[in-house]
């Protein structure tokens, strides 16, 4: 999503902001539109599942998609409320950023679990959410050693540990299941199996860290392919189907952990 938005937003000025409701998961910050209008987006980054926009004002635009949020970029000839522009809007289009690049960046969120807030200059490193995050899964800081260190003596399950943003930032429910399958590890096993009593990484830790990088890299690469929606998952949402691992005759199962669905193969995931 960051890569898709960057060409329209980075080094472009926010000419106008349309708020079509007063809140998402929580109310928009005070004078949200007014504080954004006229500002140029200097950079658009990402930390875990947050989009991080650096503004010329020194403030940071922090955005989270929530459960159902999405962005789309629309080429527009005018910001005036013409019938043609109105026809392109969905009832769940809640925020529209009109950019000097000639595009409108539209945020759509049917369940309204998304978040948009403005962080004061110099306050981003101490933000309550961002300051506690673990390493990025695709960064050099994340490997089997880091994973073992974070899971050392943890009593929770492997699946729950992977969803703990303090262990690894931004890994969600779907790809945690996918990575565990690639690594051949049961989501129900204790997270502590990744480390020796002294905290050193076991082979399983290196295998799982590698699997996380692999499934995320593959998912990003497949985003633009026609078959992505139909063929993207190895285990997720495939309950009752044959395991996709070569030579495995197992049947995929669904198991609820901490209120979230986990999909796995009881035969090849040990």
User: What residue ranges do the domains of the chain occupy?
Assistant: 2-132, 144-264
Q: What is the DSSP letter of 120?
A: P
Cα–Cα nearest to 14, from 68, 66, 87, 63: 63
Q: Exposed, middle or buried by CB within 10 Å (0-12, 13-18, 19+), for 81?
A: exposed
**Mean pLDDT computed over 200-210:** 98
Is the pLDDT at 88 greater than 90, yes or no?
no
Confidence of residue 82 (pLDDT cuts 50, 70, 90): very low
- SS3 of the chain: helix, strand, coil, percent, to 5: 30, 25, 45
Helix (H) / strand (E) element for 173: namely helix 173-183
Confidence of residue 79 (pLDDT cuts 50, 70, 90): low
Is the pLDDT at 52 greater than 70, yes or no?
yes
pLDDT tens per residue, range 131-181: 999 999 999 999 999 999 999 999 999 999 999 999 999 999 999 999 999
Is the pLDDT at 83 greater than 50, yes or no?
no
State whether residue 155 is helix, strand or coil: coil
End-to-end CA distance of the chain, in Å? 34
Q: Exposed, middle or buried by CB within 10 Å (0-12, 13-18, 19+), for 137?
A: buried
pLDDT tens per residue, range 91-120: 999 999 999 999 999 999 999 999 999 999
Two tokens at 165? Answer: 């943003």
CATH architecture group of domain 144-264: Orthogonal Bundle (1.10)
Q: Exposed, middle or buried by CB within 10 Å (0-12, 13-18, 19+), for 194?
A: buried
**pLDDT value of position 169:** 96
Q: Please determine whether the domains at 2-132 and 144-264 fall in the same fold group of CATH.
A: no
**Percent of the chain residues topping a pLDDT of 70:** 93
What is the CATH number that goes with domain 2-132?
3.20.190.10
């Amino acid at each position: 999503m960051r890569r898709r938005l960057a060409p329209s937003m980075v080094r472009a000025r926010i000419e106008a902001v349309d708020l079509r409701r007063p809140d998402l998961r929580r109310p928009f910050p005070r004078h949200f539109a007014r504080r954004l209008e006229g500002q140029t987006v200097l950079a658009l980054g990402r930390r875990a599942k947050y989009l991080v926009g650096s503004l010329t004002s020194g403030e940071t635009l922090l955005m989270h998609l929530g459960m159902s949020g999405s962005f789309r970029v629309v080429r527009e000839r005018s910001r005036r409320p013409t019938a043609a522009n109105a026809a392109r809007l969905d009832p769940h289009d809640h925020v529209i950023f009109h950019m000097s690049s000639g595009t409108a960046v539209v945020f759509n969120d049917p369940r309204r679990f998304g978040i948009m807030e403005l962080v004061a200059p110099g306050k981003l490193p101490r933000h309550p959410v961002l300051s506690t995050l673990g390493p990025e899964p695709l960064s050099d800081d994340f490997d089997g050693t880091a994973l073992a260190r974070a899971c050392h003596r943890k009593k929770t399950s492997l699946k729950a540990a992977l969803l703990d943003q303090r262990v690894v930032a931004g890994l969600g429910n779907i790809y945690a299941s996918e990575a565990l399958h690639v690594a051949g590890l049961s989501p129900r096993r204790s997270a502590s199996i990744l480390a020796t009593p002294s905290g050193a990484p076991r082979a399983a830790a290196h295998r799982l860290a590698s699997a996380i990088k692999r499934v995320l890299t593959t998912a990003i690469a497949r985003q633009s392919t026609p078959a992505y929606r139909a063929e993207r998952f190895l285990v997720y949402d495939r309950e009752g189907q044959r395991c996709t691992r070569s030579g495995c005759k197992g049947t995929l199962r669904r198991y609820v952990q901490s209120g979230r669905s986990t999909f796995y193969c009881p035969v090849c995931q040990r």
